[in-house]
Amino acid sequence: MYQQASKESRVGASALPEMSTGADAHPTSRRAGISRSAGAFKTPAAARTYWVLLAVLTAAAALAAFGLLAYGNPFETGTLKWWLIAERRSNALIAMAVAAVCQAVATVAFQTVTNNRIITPGILGFQALYAAIHTATIYFAGAAGLIAARTLDTFIFQLVMMVALSLLLYSWLLTGRRANMHVMLLVGVVLGGGLGSVSTFMQRMLTPSEFDILTARLFASVNNADPAYYPVALPLVVLSVAVLYAKSRTLNALSLGAPAATNLGIDHRRESIIVLVIVALMMAVSTALVGPLTFLGFLVATLTYQFADTYDHRYLFPMATVLSFAILAVSYFIMNHIFSAQGVVGIIIELIGGLTFLIVILRKGKL
């Protein structure tokens, strides 16, 4: 009870502008020997730790990104040929950045709205729909059809289908009198399982060569991204992140739960649906661009809560974004240039994310 009251005091203070003093680290007032904090961090030391970790992660991400551009480049640094190779490699780096931002920001916002730090947006069936679309393409059009379908129109079609699925769930299960977030999540799990079963059935009818091509496409990889997708993907991601960051104080209030958020003047249902639609859009962009990344968002969000040590989304979003990009960039650099096994990066991230999920479940003892 005391911990909940303490959380509400901290989050509620950062959710209401008039209660904030502007100094995020340690605006305290002492009255009759009692110290009360109204900042985003518990103590000044926690604020310093946050900025130090953010600086270290930013430096690691920048070094890994430069290494991906420059390491193994046979030409002299700064020459025209060197830049041509660096520009070619930068396409993969942009895809990495888009996936990192989408997975990190969408997962943190999704866990805040659902008030559950175990589940991820993938529970709504985005990965299953992505697999079903590609499996159906190769099932009806063959391997040549799947390769030929790698166009901007197909990318937009996948985005529309995934967002339409999420809007169907939200409009059906969150706008009625008996709106229930948990029922919506359960329906998402059932739909994802149904789509997965349909995909498995069609995969069993494929030839071995077609199945190999499909398997390579269903593993997440930055090499799946086509630079032709960026004019559509980048504006959507930038706009989505800007809207969610502008709603940081609203998310702080939503994290307290529906009753507390309503008492703070927040229309809980309307704000939750807005955030979920943006989350669906970001997950659709990430999945359609590089493929399904089931546990990256969970891994990043879990580490972010440990590193940031705050409930304020103005600080959670930057930490999650930098951490997500650092994980992807460092992983790709190590696997590409040290172990020469770039195709397994997504598999290793999913393995580590899955182990982290099990550890968190065993420590909490509940979902």
Q: In the prediction, which pLDDT does 34 show? A: 52
- Name residues whose C-beta falls within 8 Å of residue 350's C-beta, 6 or more positions apart in sequence: 220, 293, 294, 295, 296
Give exposure, 114-128, as e/b (b: 16+ Cβ within 10 Å).
beebbbbbbbbbbbb
Q: In the prediction, which pLDDT does 336 show? A: 80
- Name residues whose C-beta falls within 8 Å of residue 242's C-beta, 6 or more positions apart in sequence: none
CA pair distance 11, 41, nearest whole angstrom: 10
Nearest of 7, 1, 49 to residue 311 by alpha carbon: 7
pLDDT of residue 87 exceeding 80, the answer is yes
Residue range 55-82: average pLDDT? 86
What stretches of the chain adopt beta strand conformation (E)? Answer: 28-31, 34-37
Q: In the prediction, which pLDDT does 1 show? A: 42
Nearest of 363, 330, 362 to residue 349 by alpha carbon: 330
Q: In the prediction, which pLDDT does 28 show? A: 47
What are the tokens at 307?
A: 């590193």
Inter-CA distances, 128 with 112, 120, 200, 220, 280, Å: 23, 14, 10, 13, 14
pLDDT tens digit sequence for 197-217: 888 888 888 888 888 888 878
Q: Are residues 58 and 100 in contact, defined by beta-carbon separation less than 8 angstroms?
A: no
- Name residues whose C-beta falls within 8 Å of residue 79's C-beta, 6 or more positions apart in sequence: none
Q: Are residues 100 and 321 in contact, defined by beta-carbon separation less than 8 angstroms?
A: yes
The β-bridge partners of 28 are 37
What are the tokens at 37?
A: 């904090």
pLDDT of residue 319 exceeding 90, the answer is yes
Of all residues in the chain, the percent with pLDDT exceeding 70 is 85
What are the tokens at 310?
A: 């705050």
CA pair distance 300, 42, nearest whole angstrom: 22
pLDDT of residue 89 exceeding 50, the answer is yes
What is the rounded radius of gyration, in angstroms, for the C-alpha atoms of the chain? 22
| DSSP letter (8 states) at residue 175 | S
CA pair distance 267, 174, nearest whole angstrom: 13
CA pair distance 356, 247, nearest whole angstrom: 29
pTM across the whole model: 0.81
pLDDT tens digit sequence for 10-46: 544 454 444 444 444 444 444 555 555 567 888 888 8
The β-bridge partners of 34 are 31
Q: Are residues 184 and 257 in contact, defined by beta-carbon separation less than 8 angstroms?
A: no
What are the tokens at 104?
A: 């990190």
> Which one-letter amino acid corresponds to residue 116?
N
* Average pLDDT of the residues of the chain: 80
Cα-Cα end-to-end distance for the chain: 20
Nearest of 141, 189, 147, 163 to residue 286 by alpha carbon: 163
